[in-house]
A and B are shown apart, each in its own frame.
Chain A
Amino acid sequence: MGLAEWFVERLALDRFRAKYLGKPFPVHTTFFLGEIALFCFALLVVTGLYLALFYEPSAENVNVGGSVMPAAFASTVLIDSHPFGLLMRRMHHWAAHLMIAAIVLHLLRVFFTAAYRKPRELNWVLGLVLLAGTIMASFAGYLLPYDQFSVTATAIGYGIARSVPWIGGAVADVLFAGRFPSPSTVPRFFAYHVVYAPLILSALIGLHLLIVLKQKHTEPSSSAGHSASADASGGRLISGIPFWPQQSALMAVLFLLVFAAAAALSAFLPVHPSGYYGPPGPATPEVKPDWYLLWVYGALRLIPGDLSFRLFGATIGSEAIGAMLVPGAIALAILLVPWLDRAPSSLYFAEHPLASPARLAMGLAGLTLFAALSVAGFSDELKLSVPVLWVVTLLSPLVVWWATYSLASRRRRASGTLGLGRN
Chain B
Amino acid sequence: MDRRGFANLSLKTGIVAAIAAAIPGIATLRGRAKTAGSKSPEPGDRLVFALGQNAGQPVTEGSFTQNEAVLAFPEGKSDNHDNLVLVCRLNPALLAAPTSLDGVVRGVVAYSAICTHLGCTVRFSEEPMDMAPFPHIHCPCHAALFDPHRGAVVLGGPAPRPLPQLPVRLNERGEVVADGNFAAPVGVVT
Contacts and interface: CB of A to CB of B under 8 A. Distances in A.
A289 to B, nearest CB: 10
Nearest to A188: B31
Contacts of B73: 282
A301 B139 CA distance: 11
Given A304-B157, A322-B158, A184 B32 contact: yes
Interface of A: 152, 155-156, 158-160, 162-170, 173-174, 176-179, 181-185, 188, 281-287, 297, 300-306, 308, 314, 317-319, 322-323, 379-380, 383, 385-386
Among B29, B113, B117, the one with the most A-chain Cβ atoms within 10 Å of its Cβ is: B117
Interface residues of B, number: 42
Interface string B179-190: 000000001111
B2 interface: no
A182 B29 CA distance: 13
Nearest to A303: B158
B134 to A, nearest CB: 16
Among A152, A162, A318, the one with the most B-chain Cβ atoms within 10 Å of its Cβ is: A318
Do most interface residues of chain B lie in helix, strand or loop, or is the interface mixed?
loop
Given A156-B118, A283-B121, A300-B118, A177 B51 contact: no
Given A156-B118, A284-B120, A287-B141, A305 B31 contact: no
Contact of B30 (A170, A282, A284): A170
A283 B160 contact: no
15 contacts: A155-B118, A159-B118, A166-B190, A167-B190, A176-B31, A282-B71, A282-B78, A283-B121, A284-B120, A284-B141, A305-B117, A305-B154, A318-B159, A383-B130, A385-B131
B30 A174 contact: yes
Contact of A159 (B78, B82, B117, B131): B117
A290 to B, nearest CB: 15
B188 A319 contact: yes
A173 B140 CA distance: 25
B50 interface: yes
B117 A284 contact: no
B51 to A, nearest CB: 6
Interface in B121-156: 121-123, 130-131, 139-144, 154, 156
A286 B140 CA distance: 6
B34 to A, nearest CB: 8
